[in-house]
Amino acid sequence: MDQYIAVNTPLLNGNEKKYLNECIDTGWISSEGPFVKKLEDQFAQQMGREFGVAVCNGTVALELALKAIGIEPNDEIIMPTFTIISCALAAIRLGAKPVLVDSDPINWNMDISQIEAKITAKTKAIMVVHTYGLPVDMNPILALAKKYDLKIVEDAAEMHGQTYYGKPCGSFGEISTFSFYPNKLVTTGEGGMVIMDDPVIRDKCQLLRNLAFEPKQRYLHEELGWNFRMSNLQAAVGVAQLERIDEFKQRKRAMGQFYDECLNDVTELQLPLAKTAYAQNIYWVYGIVLEESVMSGKELMQQLHAEGIGTRAFFYPMHQQPALQKMGLFAGETYPVAERLARQGIYVPSGLALTQDEMKIVSDKLKTVLAKAKVSC
Ligand SMILES: *Cc1c(COP(=O)(O)O)cnc(C)c1O
């Protein structure tokens, strides 16, 4: 078999090694090292915010964000069912309740027309999750937040460098979060960031990230915090990555366009929406949704794997998660669009180090697998 094409391979050939060596040479490897502050400042500025607080991953970034804006037990937070569990977890860990909406079948983001009906006296926030490369249509959500006095938390983990009507994703609402996992547009191996404009929320995030050590007296605690710190080693990689964000963005867009050209004649596939009035897709991952009559997404993944192509399933909806159902959440709720996306959607190799030759192979194998399925039915 030819070489296996992995679903993600990061690109680490900039200043990553040089900056890591600097950490080793100077002995600055903990969160006290200078790259952490550098990454916070540079990242916040590029994403259109005043402040950044680096943390150890994108999941805890969400938990910290909710805590810092004052989410309390029994508060309700509206979010898409079609997302990663990190979003629901952040609410649940604080004793709050995730309240779900279905997805839009065309852009795969939360269906904003369903939000207002879910608002109750307990609703405190809307968690916006920009999914797979296209931002959520923010203006109607900002209007709802104003009308009902709700906070907005933006999970921009998949949107480094993306914009909504020219304004950076991650600059909307009270607070926004990012992940720097290796398949994200900027990576630190493991890592995340919370960004905001309010210095009070920044201070709160800094305190809670660092075990809530009181700034005036270490080992004295007025409240319970976490150790969510990012190390200087991670931040060193992040600073090197951030230097290339424009190039990475262009590369992702070119990859998306290339896949589009290869696959737009395959009628059984729904391809990612290339653009809307407010944004051009950044193709964090290149997702495809297969027609149900052909085969399931799972079968397609297995067949592609046999052909040497790595893929990933789309998100599995929150209302169908056994761990959440066991808690008595979402009983009897159905969200047909998200359910279909989960059954039929997969994403193909989309890492920054992927070559055009590899994308051609992926597309050809995909077409072969689908042609075979047609013959056999
Ligand atoms: C990746 C991701 C996260 C979680 O980030 P980790 O760093 O892996 O914890 C959260 N939300 C979304 C939308 C993501 O894509």
Secondary structure, 3-state, the chain: CCCCECCCCCCCCCCHHHHHHHHHHHCCCCCCCHHHHHHHHHHHHHCCCCEEEEECCHHHHHHHHHHHCCCCCCCEEEEECCCCHHHHHHHHHCCCEEEEECECCCCCCECHHHCHHHCCCCEEEEEEECECCECCCHHHHHHHHHHHCCEEEEECCCCCCCEECCEECCCCCCEEEEECCCCCCCCCCCCEEEEECCHHHHHHHHHHHECCCCCCCCCCCCCCCCECCCCHHHHHHHHHHHCCHHHHHHHHHHHHHHHHHHHCCCCCEECCCCECCCCECCCCCEEEEECCCCCCHHHHHHHHHHCCECCEECCCCHHHCHHHHCCCCCCCCCCHHHHHHHHHEEEECCCCCCCHHHHHHHHHHHHHHHHHHHHHC
- Give the distance (Å) from ligand 1 centre to CA of residue 158: 8
Q: What ligand 1 atom has the least distance to the C-alpha of 190? A: 7
- pLDDT tens series, the chain, 377 aa: 568 999 999 999 999 999 999 999 999 999 999 999 999 999 999 999 999 999 999 999 999 999 999 999 999 999 999 999 999 999 999 999 999 999 999 999 999 999 999 999 999 999 999 999 999 999 999 999 999 999 999 999 999 999 999 999 999 999 999 999 999 999 999 999 999 999 999 999 999 999 999 989 989 999 999 999 999 999 999 999 999 999 999 999 999 999 999 999 999 999 999 999 999 999 999 999 999 999 999 999 999 999 999 999 999 999 999 999 999 999 999 999 999 999 999 999 999 999 999 999 999 999 999 999 987 75
What tokens does 64 get?
């910290």
Cβ(86) to ligand 1 under 6 A? yes
For residue 286, report the phi and psi dihedrals to the nearest 5 degrees. Answer: -95, 100
Q: How far is the CA of 87 from the centre of ligand 1 (A)?
A: 8
User: Best mutation site among 55, 56, 59, 63 for ligand 1, i.e. most ligand atoms within 8 A of its Cβ?
Assistant: 59
179 CA from centroid of ligand 1 (Å) = 5
Residue 215, pLDDT score: 87
Q: Taken in order 310, 321, 226, 48, is the CA torsion positive or negative?
A: positive
Q: How far is the CA of 266 from the centre of ligand 1 (A)?
A: 31
Distance from C-alpha of 367 to C-alpha of 49, rounded to nearest angstrom: 44
Number of C-beta neighbours around residue 43 at 10 A: 25
Best residue among 181, 187, 194, 315 to mutate for probing ligand 1's pocket (most ligand atoms within 8 Å of CB) is: 181
Nearest protein Cα to ligand 1, atom 11: 157
Tokens of 103: 């997805």
Q: Closest ligand 1 atom, CA of 131?
A: 13
pTM over 0.85: yes
d(CA 277, CA 281): 11
pLDDT at 79: 98
353: CA distance to ligand 1 center in Å?
20
Distance, CA 284 to ligand 1 centroid (Å)?
12
192 lines ligand 1 (CB under 6 A): yes
Residue nearest to atom 6 of ligand 1 (CA): 58
φ and ψ at 224, to 5 degrees? -90, 125
High-pLDDT (> 90) share of the chain, %? 97
Pick the residue whose CA is nearest to atom 5 on ligand 1. Answer: 58
80 lines ligand 1 (CB under 6 A): no
pLDDT value at residue 377: 59
155 lines ligand 1 (CB under 6 A): yes
